């Protein structure tokens, strides 16, 4: 444990508890909303939590190289906020009342973190996304197109010069 996380401190304990509560409330919300339990969704939920711990492990190792404790703490706080948001969302899906101030605080945290309401499992790669389509058909300005063509032409000329030069 010391190698992986630098010891088991209170912050890491709080994250572990939040992860467990999130998983349990997620199960309860799935049952309550009539979606039922899905092993695929459950697997990916656990995998997501395992990957969070992997990032914290990496953050700790970076801290070791830099001689700080900042990276690991920041990673834990980031995931802790995400877990707390998810727990309160699960409470709302279950039908437990949430104080207005708590709802407002969550909305602010979501906005600051750039989080949107999560769907799990994530969309599959073969599913067309309107936003992706729009990005793919985005028009490149003429000046930028000319610069790209010039760069391609220069690369081709260098390649031809290298082929014709004796070794």
pLDDT of residue 61: 92
The answer to whether the beta carbons of residues 78 and 22 sit under 8 Å apart is no
> Which residue do the tokens 């802790």 mark?
80
**Per-domain residue ranges of the chain:** 2-126, 134-161
pLDDT of residue 133: 43
d(CA 49, CA 15): 10
Mean pLDDT of 78-97: 90
Whether cis (ω within 30° of 0) applies to the bond prior to 121 is yes
* Whole-prediction pTM: 0.59
Mean pLDDT of 113-132: 46
pLDDT-derived band at 166, boundaries 50, 70, 90: low
Instruction: Return the number of other C-beta atoms located less than 10 Å from residue 6's C-beta.
Output: 18
For the record, the structure tokens of 98 come out as 């949430």
pLDDT of residue 2: 64
d(CA 43, CA 34): 19
Mean pLDDT of 93-97: 88
Beta-carbon-side half-sphere exposure of residue 111 (alpha carbons within 13 Å)? 6
d(CA 25, CA 106): 17
54 CA to centre of own chain: 13
Instruction: Provide the angle, in degrees to the nearest 10, between the axes of the packed helices 39-66 and 70-94.
Output: 160
């Amino acid at each position: 444990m010391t190698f992986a996380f630098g010891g088991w401190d209170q912050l890491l304990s709080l994250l572990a508890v939040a992860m467990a509560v999130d998983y349990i409330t997620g199960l309860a919300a799935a049952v309550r909303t009539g979606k039922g339990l899905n092993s695929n969704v459950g697997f990916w939920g656990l995998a997501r939590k395992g990957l969070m711990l992997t990032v914290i492990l990496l953050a700790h190792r970076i801290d070791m190289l830099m001689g700080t404790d900042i990276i690991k703490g920041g990673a834990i706080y980031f995931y802790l906020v995400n877990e707390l948001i998810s727990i309160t969302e699960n409470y709302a899906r279950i039908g437990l009342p949430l104080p207005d101030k708590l709802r407002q605080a969550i909305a602010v945290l979501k906005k600051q973190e750039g989080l949107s309401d999560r769907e799990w499992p994530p969309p599959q790669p073969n599913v067309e996304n309107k936003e992706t389509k729009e990005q793919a058909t985005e028009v490149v300005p003429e000046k930028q197109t000319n610069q790209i063509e010039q760069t391609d032409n220069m690369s081709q000329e260098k390649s031809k010069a290298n082929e014709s030069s004796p070794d």
